[in-house]
A and B are shown apart, each in its own frame.
Chain A
Amino acid sequence: MLATLIRTLLLGAGAALALGALPVRAADPGVTDTEIVIGLHAPLSGPLAAFGIDPLNAAKMWYEEVNKKGGIHGRKIRLIVEDDKCNPNEAVLVVKRLATVHNVFMINGGSCTPAVIATQEFISREKIPFAMLNAAGDNGVFPPIRYMFGAFGGTQRADGAVLVEFAFNALKARRMAFIVHDDEYGNAKWATSKAVAERLGAEAVAVERISPRVTDVTTPMLNIRAARPDVIISAAYPQPAVLIAQKYGEFKMTAIPMVQAVQGIPVPDIFQKNVGNDAVFSNFYYGSPLNDMFNGPRQQKWVQMYKQYYPDRTPGAWMAFGLPPAMAVTRALEKAGRNLTREAFVEAMETLDFESEVFAGKIQFAKGRRDGMRSAIVIRFDGKKHTVMPGAYAWNGRDGM
């Protein structure tokens, strides 16, 4: 009896030793001894492809750079790329495909908030780490859920807060007019803009909610002119932003400073050309989460790298937005160690605190925080020259919540 017990114990110990001698191999999907499989998705076709192609290419470029340097803990990163068209239903299918057909370790994707939010339930249920690409993702990170990290370029809440802070402190505006869209993006932007204005003691003298598909902004702009604001803060998308700027010039409102959120002016030169009236730019500012103008010296390192990888493409400012999420992923993979699991990766993501050299502020996460960055700069554009205004502005994480 005793001999049998001893034999069993020895056998068990031998088996344990033998197993211990095997190469380290994590149990989670998408990780082998030699590679880590990451799913990337963004709108690569359809009307919103401009928001996705360059950021996704930039993320690919970063992963490729990491692979060139030997990978992470001896493993190379292999990417599976999918197109979600910024459509919530397609994004859900894409994420399920990445997770259950390609068995990726984690997902780095999404350029539009609704598309990202639609995947949340699946991500949480299946416990798959998810780092957004360039989606602002307000409703994806507030309230925070364990497996979803995002807003690397700042949430819309952060962006709205920053523009109001700038208008109040730098332009000394006390009577503010706002133009925001009547969608999820506009709701989030307006939530903090309003809260920050109230905290600072500024008055919202006009608030115009417009459709993203608006084709004429005469009435909202006349309402704003009638309200006699000290500043106009526009959070419009590119096409409506052009219409707003045209009416701003046409109605001779240029004595009032105009502050445009970055979403409306992805490529300033094209914006200027579309507006077609240089008088508009006599008192014109735009926000940016980048640490410099896109053609400024601090961004050139990334622009040049991108041109080497993709010589046929001329990148817009969105390109840089794809880098910090990929940087965060590779840093967390490093931190999680060789014995990589999804849970270890999430815990590593939660400890990240680094300068991306891309954005105006640090990328920071914590146990109860899933929005990565809260800062922005403001740039003055006079139609010829872009000038970064002194100081960086940051959202305190409380206003508008």
Chain B
Amino acid sequence: MYGSPSYARLAPLLALVVIGIVLPPLVPQYFLSLGNTLMMYAILAVGLDLLLGWAGQFAFAHIAFYGVGVYGTVLLQSKLGIPFIPGVLIAAALAGLIAFLIAVAAIRLHSVYLALATFAFAESAQWVFNSWEGLTGGADGLRIAPPSVLGWTTGTDARAFPVIAIILALVIGATMYLTRSRLGRSLCAVRDSEHAAAVSGIDVFRTRIWAFVISGTYAGVAGGTFALFQSFVNPEAFGFSQIVLVLSMVVVGGLGTLPGPLIGAVLLGLLPEIMRTAMRGLFVWQELVYGLILILSMMFMPRGIWGLIAARGGRSK
């Protein structure tokens, strides 16, 4: 579980990149758009899981960092002419920096108090996106010009798909290394017992701050990928429903695991589309279905879908 991941574990990432390159000419734009959305949610969910599942910090500011990533990438390109790669890196670093400031301010808070403080930050960030009209376009929204990635203009879903697949592969790869590193073990130790971690020589405050910063940076990267395949953004995209959606992806998929949030992102990202097509009559009940899935998942799969799969796999061995 610790040390560098094996080549066998990294091989699926190569497969993801190959699929990202091969698939676009073969399927309609709708499916590619859906794929881009799912991959973006996967990055967002993996980042939130680092904070929530691995470090055990019950925080809700993730969607605000995602917003910083979206607006940062778009504005750096449109206002300063900064290309996508440096743009997304700067935006992600900015999201990480803001996460650091939030972490420092909220470091002494735990459980519901931390949740409330970070939720308040997410709400105020949305207010800023809505009110800072000169920069963000406010409620009118902002049109996004197609970014160029090393000369590859990503104006369409087909052109954005391979780029996002590569970014997702890099994010998953980085997470594999991170969770197997000393910091990854520290995150788990802090989650399981802060006192025990402290006694073991782990700097709990620093570890918690790192969790916020890395998670915020991931959200910033996810925001950057949004700019690759969407042409319009407005503050509605960073509201409470989005917080709940990403949280559900992590919880339903399986907290504190890497496959969990990926499964959750795919499942909950696909659910509205499945309901739109295969279960049209149920589509109007989408929110209720979300709620039911969340409740049933908590009741019968407290460790999420991946937890269930892993447990069954363990029993069969």
| Residues of chain A having any CB pair with chain B under 8 Å | 44-46, 49, 82-83, 87-90, 92-94, 96-97, 99-101, 114, 117-118, 120-122, 125, 139, 182-187
Contact = CB atoms under 8 A, between A and B. Distances in A.
Interface in B256-279: 272-273, 276
Interface residues of B, number: 32
A50 to B, nearest CB: 12
Interface in B118-168: 130-131, 133, 138-141, 143, 155-157
Contacts of B236: 87-88, 114
Given A92-B33, A100-B30, A49 B140 contact: no
Query: DSSP majority for the A interface?
Result: helix
A90 B230 CA distance: 11
A118 B231 contact: yes
Given A45-B284, A93-B37, A125-B155, A118 B28 contact: no
17 contacts: A44-B284, A45-B285, A45-B287, A46-B287, A88-B232, A88-B236, A89-B230, A93-B273, A96-B28, A99-B29, A100-B30, A114-B141, A117-B232, A118-B141, A120-B232, A139-B141, A184-B140
A99 B31 CA distance: 12
Interface string B224-257: 0000001110101100000000000000000000
Interface of B: 28-31, 33-34, 37, 130-131, 133, 138-141, 143, 155-157, 230-232, 234, 236-237, 272-273, 276, 283-287
A234 B154 CA distance: 43
Given A87-B236, A114-B234, A100 B130 contact: no
B234 A96 contact: no
Nearest to B28: A100
B283 A44 contact: yes
Contacts of B230: 89, 92, 118
Given A120-B231, A182-B130, A139 B140 contact: yes
Contacts of A93: 30, 33-34, 37, 273
B228 to A, nearest CB: 13
Nearest to A212: B139
Given A45-B286, A117-B141, A184-B139, A96 B276 contact: no
Nearest to A44: B284
A297 to B, nearest CB: 34
A49 B283 CA distance: 12
Contact of B284 (A83, A89, A90, A92): A83
Given A99-B30, A187-B139, 10 more contacts: A45-B284, A45-B286, A89-B37, A92-B232, A101-B28, A101-B31, A118-B141, A118-B231, A121-B231, A186-B139
Nearest to B33: A96
Nearest to B157: A96
A121 B139 contact: no
Contact of A125 (B30, B156, B273): B156
A272 to B, nearest CB: 29
A87 B236 CA distance: 8
Give the interface centre of B130, B156, B236 by most chain A CB atoms within 10 Å.
B236
A100 B156 CA distance: 13
A89 B237 contact: yes
